[in-house]
Amino acid sequence: MFLGYLRRRAGDIAVIAVCAVIFAAVFRLFGIEAAAVRYGAALCGAFFAVFAAADYILYRRRVSELEEIKSRITISCEGLPKTKDGVVSAFTGMVTELYGALRSACDEAERRKRNDSEYYTLWVHQIKTPIAAMRLILSESDTEEAHGLLEGLFRIEQYVDMVMAKSRLESDTTDYLLKEYLISDIARSAIRKFAPQFIRKKIKLNFDVPDVPVVTDSKWLGFVVGQVLSNALKYTNEGSVSVYLEKPLTLVIRDTGIGISPEDLPRIFESGYTGSAGRLDRKASGIGLGLCRAVCGRLGHVIRAESEVGVGTAVYIGLDRRETGAE
């Protein structure tokens, strides 16, 4: 702190030193006795020492006040030290004005975010009504065209769920319900939704998930499993999709699809990143796996992937709970 004080007063010390040299030179030119000069210099030095000590104490007090404010800082200007120093007062006023502008901007951003969330929530609930009506009408027909339309409708439902999931993840409130569930029930429920796709594409399902309890949120983990299964089916034209449990508690979804290139693999969980396969498939949004990583982070789970081009992809969901943002 003392070095900081010296740096702050370096200009003042330099001016005093120059003035002292000028006075010494003038006294010498006029032949004033050295004893008188030394006596005057001693008095000035004593006064300067007292002033410097008092100034340093005041400096330390101000720094300590600011450090204390920093240690308990909140988004507020309350507690800023009052001072008669014009420069410090000007800085305090500037900080207060900036805080007011920041507070107004934050309030406006929060208002827009709330309006967007309300809009998307209303949109999702409204769009589900015609989707349900179309599904009811199409389910009465057993034609190839109706099956194709049902599959397209299922994709629309997935996109609607993604919009709702993104909106809820960005919300300040959550609807997580963490308790023990059987991982086999969650996996079966997610797989059941994709039964028509498995049948239409003639993809074999290998399921080996025992009735093991896991602490999670069944709805959100089901969303993650559903997104991974959707990608597995989208990029697998023949072969199989395997869903099984590895010890100690890792759910694995492995496919025999086209695989992911090594340069794309590290980035597949970035929101909006589609990779080379996604660029070829113009329907890919790159949002699903980004949401999966965000959801797993909230639930205290870990998601990762391994892949080889032309062989397939395996996604691992570690269900051992770590620190979570859902509590």
Does 117 have pLDDT greater than 90? no
Backbone φ and ψ for 69, nearest 5 degrees, come out as -65, -40
Average pLDDT over residues 291-307: 92
Please report the pLDDT score of residue 278 as a whole number.
53
- What is the rounded average pLDDT for all residues in the chain? 83
Residue 137 in tokens: 């009408």
Pairing, β 213-216 against β 240-246: unpaired
Does 283 have pLDDT greater than 60? no
What's the pLDDT band for 209 if we cut at 50, 70, 90?
A: very high
CA distance 271 to 269: 6
**Sheet of strand 302-308, all strands in order from the earlier edge strand to the far edge:** 204-208, 240-246, 250-255, 312-318, 302-308
Lowest mean pLDDT among 77-81, 112-116, 141-145: 77-81
Please report the pLDDT score of residue 26 as a whole number.
81
Average pLDDT over residues 8-30: 80
Do residues 253 and 233 make contact, with C-beta atoms less than 8 angstroms apart?
no
Percent of the chain scoring above 90 in pLDDT: 32
Do residues 222 and 191 make contact, with C-beta atoms less than 8 angstroms apart?
no
Residue 112 in tokens: 């827009």
Average pLDDT over residues 132-144: 84
CA distance 240 to 255: 6
What's the pLDDT band for 204 if we cut at 50, 70, 90?
A: very high
Whole-model pTM? 0.62
Reference 306, options 258, 246, 251, 266; nearest CA is 266
What's the pLDDT band for 176 if we cut at 50, 70, 90?
A: confident
Does 325 have pLDDT greater than 80? no
Does 180 have pLDDT greater than 90? yes
Average pLDDT over residues 12-31: 80
Please report the pLDDT score of residue 75 as a whole number.
58
Does 286 have pLDDT greater than 80? no
Q: Is the peptide bond before 210 cis (omega within 30 degrees of 0)?
A: no
Please report the pLDDT score of residue 214 as a whole number.
93
Please report the pLDDT score of residue 250 as a whole number.
95
CA distance 65 to 273: 47
H-helix or E-strand containing 205?
A: strand 204-208
Does 240 have pLDDT greater than 90? yes
Does 89 have pLDDT greater than 80? no
Does 221 have pLDDT greater than 90? yes
Do residues 303 and 292 make contact, with C-beta atoms less than 8 angstroms apart?
yes
Amino acid at 71: S
Does 101 have pLDDT greater than 70? yes
Q: Which 3 state secondary structure label does DSSP give 201? A: helix
Average pLDDT over residues 151-157: 84
CA distance 254 to 209: 13
Counting Cα atoms < 13 Å in the Cβ hemisphere of 264 gives: 18
- Helices 288-299 + 144-169 axis angle, to 10: 50
Do residues 16 and 48 make contact, with C-beta atoms less than 8 angstroms apart?
yes
Please report the pLDDT score of residue 95 as a whole number.
77
What are the helix (H) ranges across the chain?
2-8, 10-29, 34-71, 86-139, 144-169, 183-193, 195-201, 218-234, 275-280, 288-299
Average pLDDT over residues 200-217: 93
Please report the pLDDT score of residue 77 as a whole number.
61
Burial, 15: exposed, middle or buried (Cβ in 10 Å; 0-12, 13-18, 19+)?
Answer: exposed
Do residues 260 and 305 make contact, with C-beta atoms less than 8 angstroms apart?
yes
Reference 16, options 28, 5, 24, 26; nearest CA is 24
Average pLDDT over residues 203-231: 93
Q: What is the domain class of 179-318 according to CATH?
A: alpha beta
CA distance 88 to 68: 17
Is pLDDT larger for residue 55 or for residue 88?
Answer: 55
